[in-house]
């Protein structure tokens, strides 16, 4: 029982890490695109 719980907690944690990594990538890409647009306009 404890093993199943540990495995579930570990997988849940890794899912959260993956989601956070994707979010960070998306934010970084958005900022990069916005900065590039600013450079083109200015």
Residue 42 has pLDDT above 80, yes or no: no
pLDDT at 1: 66
Q: Is the dihedral of CA 21, 25, 30, 35 positive or negative?
A: positive
Q: Which residue has the tokens 């890490």?
A: 17
Q: What is the largest CA-CA distance in the chain?
A: 62
- Answering whether pTM is above 0.85, one says no
């Amino acid at each position: 029982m404890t093993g199943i719980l540990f495995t579930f907690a570990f997988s849940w944690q890794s899912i959260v890490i993956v989601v956070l990594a994707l979010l960070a990538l998306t934010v970084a890409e958005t900022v990069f695109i916005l900065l590039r647009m600013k450079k083109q306009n200015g």
